[in-house]
Structure 1
Amino acid sequence: MIDKTFLLRTLERLLATPSPSGMTDAVVRLACEILDEIGVEYKLTRRGAIRAVLPGAAYTPKRAIAAHLDTLGAMVKALKPNGRLEVVPIGFWSSRFAEGARVTVYGDTGTYRGTVLPIKASGHTYNKEIDTLPVDWTQVELRLDADTASVADLMRLGVRVGDTIAVDPGTEFGPNGYVNSRYLDDKAGVASLLAAAEAVVRTKAPLPLDVLLLFTISEEVGVGASHILHGNDVAEMISVDNATNAPGQNSSERGVTIAMMDSAGPFDWHLTRHLLALCRAHGIEHSRDVYRYYRSDAASALEAGNDIRTALVCFACDASHGWERTHEDSLVSLARLLAAQMTSAPLFQRDAAPLGPLADFPPAEVQTTPDLSEP
């Protein structure tokens, strides 16, 4: 059902479009172009977050699935006397992964290429001191590919404090299905969501409820889905993001991971169990995990005051916010689960209204009785 070629080509197009938080117009236009190609209607918020809709049999309550288009990046903090640039991160990531990166600086009057380097970069000059620098953004600087040896040179070039810096993704699609690139978080999630939508539209799969496809533009700086829902007709929202493959985690490397809790607290009991049941019913490889240092679009949606059930589903991602790697099998598994969720029966009929009596609230036994179908 999922067109893997479409999914990977979409991912390639997204990764080739720079989109650090605060500079997302180009990737928003690309996402809208892809939605047009699929045949999905959409509208944009003032700043460019996308709210697309797949019409279902019932107008309300709606389902929502959110993925974010923005990525990490950097910004010019200061012009240095040596003609180089002090930089600060956009979003949370380590300067360890910035060292050696090729970047583009987007100035008011032009773009400039350069490389992020440690402030002591030459072993021929600093000897063993190159191995003792702390890992910190104050210990790196940006060398532009231009004749700049002073602040005056930088000013004449047109570089200014506050210019946005996009880091090259370094994308590589391997013959064995592995994908290496910066910013798989969350462009791999976006590609999987678009592939699920493409499959639903192509196969004319009936949807019991309207499904909103939400593409947010400021998740990496904590804003996320706080501004995109608009109203109280959404009953459940799934956030799509990365599963951290690392020691101490239980994330699936080739399948989809259902997050049970992150730093914002537990996800909705009923919605997460519904997604696990869909994985079992459709033979989708999956696992469950808990994340200590993680938050997603779901957290910002709840913090904005939305009374919705939330869940987090994830693709495999090794070395998140660093040198990221995933596998196409995981992306296809994620897309299959999202398509299955879109076409599944409503979780609760009572969720059509924001308020209701106790009589139609789920009985306590649903949470306290063991589920023998869950391995």
Structure 2
Amino acid sequence: MTTPTPRLPIDVDYLRQQLQALLSIPSPTGYTDQVVRHVCQELERLHLPYVLTRRGAIRARLAGERAEGARAIVSHVDTLGAQVKALKPNGRLELVPIGSWSARFAEGARCTIFCEKGSYRGTVLPLKASGHTFADEIDSQPSGWPHVELRVDAFAMDAPALERLGIEVGDTVAIDPQPEFLDNGFIVSRHLDNKAGVALMLAAMRALQDAPPPPVDVHWLFTISEEVGHGASSVLPADVASMVAVDNGTSAPGQNSSEFGVTIAAADMTGPFDFHLTRKLAALCRANDIRYRKDVFRYYRSDSASAIEAGADVRTALVTFGVDASHGYERIHMHALRSVAELLTAHALSKVEIPRDYQPFGSLQGFTRQDAPPAQQRPFDEEDLPPDYPLPEADGSAA
């Protein structure tokens, strides 16, 4: 039985400020040094010790009453983007995506190309972009990465001119987020996956500053390559027994995610999340009057998958804020971000429900159970059936 843990109040203004700052820093996978520096500087302001891996994944530690059986909470600072695939004869750039996203959402995007000599601005356009030239063909042309190109805002009419600018195959392209923060709480922007998760984690950490120490250490992890599948594969400490990933939920037709409250994932494409940790998070929501629902994601994986695949024997769960049009022109609501942050504070301070998890190995004593009692059902009543429902005769045949 999960013991109720009071949620802590979240400074929504601080959360918004952090999200605005994070969105202003380009960070497609492979180009994350600056956003890593921003997060580390904020951790210093919060007086939380941290370490970096060689490539820049961050691990901050909120000290608890004991180190064994520690908890981890993880999100990623990297976003979708693109790379230069080829310098084209017409002076434009062929692109390949960083991460999995559709070229239809790249069309019309303003962007920055980062090369050794500096950076250039540009626009991603379909190959047939002028209605005055191509007429109806602009609507009938195919969609896909081979059918878009990047127009560089510089004097470059051919491939040699691009070379003189210093642009090379492999250069990183960052897509502008174009954020809008509306008065009604909605936030519309690219890259809310997962800048919003990073911002709400910082807000939760800020709320925990004046709280009593948690029962076990809480490690706050920020990874740099989730969008390409690596995620939390190498940043997890050995003492961690459970990890909660924070990412976007898919509030789309056929899904149960919402742009309000918390969406707890029961499973993603890598399989079910931990039975006991997932149930505990739901119980914490109920105990703290945090609106929540559950969902299953069929075409989705998070930081937790990479940790498990790397060999970490940890319980994993996924809590999300509902995002409409994920990996496209995304929209969220501040209510969901605040709700997830509140849940993280309650989880960080909650008692350890499975003491056996203090150690990586043990006997059967203290091992968990999943033997649910039989469901209690009231006796069958014919009045529960529709008026014209055919009932069997006494001999069992249909009426």
**Normalised-by-shorter TM-score class:** over 0.9
- Give the SS at the match of 1:58: coil
Correspondence list, 1:1-375, <5 A = 1-201=9-209, 203-231=210-238, 233-365=239-371, 367=372
For residue 39 of structure 1, report the CA deviation from its aligned partner.
1.3
Structure-2 separation of matches of 1:371 and 1:252: 30
For residue 240 of structure 1, report the CA deviation from its aligned partner.
0.4
Contact 1:271/1:347 (CA < 8 Å) preserved in 2?
no
Structure 1 residues 369 and 361 mapped into 2: Cα distance closer, same or farther (>3 Å)? farther
Structure-1 separation of matches of 2:81 and 2:375: 45
- Give the SS at the match of 1:209: coil
Contact 2:354/2:366 (CA < 8 Å) preserved in 1?
no
Structure-2 separation of matches of 1:370 and 1:52: 43
- The structure whose Rg is larger is 2
For residue 362 of structure 1, report the CA deviation from its aligned partner.
1.4
Normalised TM-score (structure 1): 0.97
Structure 1 residues 176 and 368 mapped into 2: Cα distance closer, same or farther (>3 Å)? same
Structure 1 residues 314 and 364 mapped into 2: Cα distance closer, same or farther (>3 Å)? closer
Structure-2 separation of matches of 1:354 and 1:339: 25
What amino acid is aligned across from residue 113 of structure 1 in structure 2?
R
Aligned residues: 369
Contact 2:117/2:165 (CA < 8 Å) preserved in 1?
no
Which has the larger displacement, 149-158 or 272-281? 149-158
Deviation sequence 1:103-137 (CA, Å, 0-9, x none) = 00000111000000000000111111111111110
Deviation sequence 1:208-261 (CA, Å, 0-9, x none) = 110000000000000000011142x11000000001010111112210100000
What amino acid is aligned across from residue 73 of structure 2 in structure 1?
I
More helix by share: 1
Structure-1 separation of matches of 2:68 and 2:141: 57
For residue 40 of structure 1, report the CA deviation from its aligned partner.
0.9
Structure-2 separation of matches of 1:128 and 1:363: 63
For residue 347 of structure 1, report the CA deviation from its aligned partner.
2.6
- Give the SS at the match of 2:253: coil
Structure 1 residues 18 and 257 mapped into 2: Cα distance closer, same or farther (>3 Å)? same
For residue 157 of structure 1, report the CA deviation from its aligned partner.
1.1
For residue 370 of structure 1, report the CA deviation from its aligned partner.
5.7
For residue 368 of structure 1, report the CA deviation from its aligned partner.
5.5
Where does the alignment leave 5 or more consecutive residues of structure 2 unmatched? Answer: 1-8, 378-399
What amino acid is aligned across from residue 355 of structure 1 in structure 2?
F
Corresponding position of 2:381: none
What amino acid is aligned across from residue 28 of structure 1 in structure 2?
V
State the Cα RMSD in Å.
1.3
What amino acid is aligned across from residue 222 of structure 1 in structure 2?
G
Which stretches of structure 1, 4 residues or longer, exceed 6 Å deviation after superposition? Answer: none
Which has the larger displacement, 270-279 or 122-131? 122-131
Structure 1 residues 46 and 126 mapped into 2: Cα distance closer, same or farther (>3 Å)? same
- Give the SS at the match of 1:226: coil
Where does the alignment leave 5 or more consecutive residues of structure 1 unmatched? Answer: none
Structure 1 residues 80 and 40 mapped into 2: Cα distance closer, same or farther (>3 Å)? same
Deviation sequence 1:121-172 (CA, Å, 0-9, x none) = 0011111111111111000000011111111111111111111000100011
